[in-house]
Structure 1
Amino acid sequence: MTDLSSGTPELFELPRERAEIVPGAVHVPDWLGLEDQRELVLRCREWALGPAPMRHVVLPGGGRMSVRSTTLGRDGAPYRYLRTGEHERAPDMPPWLSALGRRAVLEAYGPGSPDARDHRPDTALVNFYDAAARMGMHQDKDEASAAPIVSLSLGDACVFRFGNTQTRSAPYRDIELRSGDLFVFGGPSRYAFHGVPRILPGTGPAALGMKGGRLNLTLRMTGRAGPAR
């Protein structure tokens, strides 16, 4: 297995298997190929520069997040706390990214799932974690929709803590998410508390050219009526 302290894989690394962590929460290792990962990294760099630049967000309660974030689609709604300027406009949600989100839910749940048939993400959050960044346990409750959340990982691996729907504390599971991994949670796990207690520096593919850190894209349906604009 990979030596996470050095980021150097052993000669014969065993393939990782997909797993349903709890009902509704599915981990698919290595879902994105290297070329797709490279393309997403390039797009994230473009989004990070504007028109809604990536920044350390100050939450409504006054806390400053250690990750840097930006958003796509819906002018940032319902994530108004990500904006600092009154006239700052979030980039459009690209149709190809929405289609990727639908493919992800199909991969996780299968074509027979109603969630998979009807899934059309209209917004995305893009987070960058440096080696010291963390994400506390939280629920994704800003959306009016209870559609599944799609999470894509790029760059350094992380410890992803996936908990229960009642409390930030145990029981929870710690899962290693590596570059290219897909994690989808919906149904009975849609409002589970989750967070990132640790980044594993030096574990990202050198071919991505990221020079450290982790990018995470979460694709969501806001449940807002009408067109995105």
Structure 2
Amino acid sequence: MLEADSQRLRLSSGAFVLRGFALPYVSQLLPAISVIEGISPFRHMVTPGGATMSVALTNCGTLGWTTDRRGYQYVSVDPATGDRWPAMPPVFAQLANEAATMAGFDDFEPDACLVNRYRPGARLSLHQDKNERDYEAPVVSVSLGMNATFLFGGHERSNPAAKVLLYHGDVMVWGGADRLRYHGIRPLKDEPHMLLGSERINFTFRKAG
């Protein structure tokens, strides 16, 4: 059952939507994303099964998440440039830490931030975040731009998934008993946002190393 207060929507014991939590940071977040993109451009990676992802991605932080025909992994060097991933902007780390604290997960210090760019029709199938070494730390996911329908399932892919509408500035946090739940994003509708147009930017913080 969903429980809500003025800012926090509780999906289950360890999963929350923090409505509008990132809005005070937007003026700093967007320029920071541009800097990251300038160093490590967005790209459409290929899954181990050979499918090209509809979502374009890049990373910042000590480690970056990648996928290719050999599998999913975290690496310290951007395979597209041969250089280290861009450093995580301080405002990113601050936002992640404060959102995690609001959800009851104190002292969160992420070392990896996956930045996804969605355009109309892009989607993310149900999956678990399980390439990290530290399952004790939560996942913190920030939404900017177009609305998206977040799918929050169970611990088996076949479990029913709740549908949660995420708006510009919302932050999702899940951890504890919910850390390994399946989750995804339904195909985005082309409903342009006044700031980002026909685009959604999502960045997800994790403790990977």
> Fold conserved (TM > 0.5)?
yes
1:221 aligned residue: 207
Q: Which of these residues, 137, 142, 148, is aligned with residue 152 of structure 1?
A: 142
Residue 17 of structure 1 and its aligned partner are, at CA, apart by: 5.0
Report % sequence identity: 34
Q: Does residue 163 in structure 1 map to residue 153 in structure 2?
A: yes
Residue 82 of structure 1 and its aligned partner are, at CA, apart by: 9.2
After TM superposition, list the pairs within 5 Å mapping 1:62-101 onto structure 2.
Answer: 62-76=50-64, 78-80=73-75, 83-85=78-80, 87-101=82-96
Q: Which ranges of structure 1 fall in alignment gaps of 5 or more residues?
A: 1-14, 110-114, 225-229
Residue 73 of structure 1 and its aligned partner are, at CA, apart by: 1.4
After superposing the two structures, state which structure 1 stretch, 74-83 or 133-142, moved more.
Answer: 74-83
Using structure 2 for the length normalisation, give the TM-score.
0.86
2:37 aligned residue: 48
Q: Which of these residues, 11, 34, 41, is aligned with residue 21 of structure 1?
A: 11
Q: Which amino acid in 2 is paired with 1:163?
A: G
- State the number of aligned residues: 197
Q: Which ranges of structure 2 fall in alignment gaps of 5 or more residues?
A: 66-72
**Does the aligned pair in 2 maintain the 1:57–1:82 contact within 8 Å?**
no
1:8 aligned residue: none
Q: Secondary structure at the match of 1:71?
A: strand
Distance 2:6 2:48 in 1: 39
Q: Which amino acid in 2 is paired with 1:62?
A: G
Distance 1:182 1:75, change over 3 A: closer
Q: Deviations over 1:55-83 (max 9, x none)?
A: 00112332211000001112426534994
Residue 96 of structure 1 and its aligned partner are, at CA, apart by: 3.1
Q: Does residue 134 in structure 1 map to residue 123 in structure 2?
A: yes
Q: Which amino acid in 1 is paired with 2:170?
A: D
Distance 1:36 1:201 in 2: 25
Residue 220 of structure 1 and its aligned partner are, at CA, apart by: 1.0
Distance 2:78 2:11 in 1: 34
Distance 1:203 1:195 in 2: 21
Q: Which amino acid in 1 is paired with 2:162?
A: R
**Does the aligned pair in 2 maintain the 1:75–1:91 contact within 8 Å?**
no
1:4 aligned residue: none
**Does the aligned pair in 1 maintain the 2:63–2:111 contact within 8 Å?**
no
2:68 aligned residue: none
**Does the aligned pair in 1 maintain the 2:144–2:201 contact within 8 Å?**
yes
Distance 1:218 1:86 in 2: 22
Distance 1:17 1:99, change over 3 A: closer
Residue 203 of structure 1 and its aligned partner are, at CA, apart by: 5.0
Structure having the higher Rg: 1
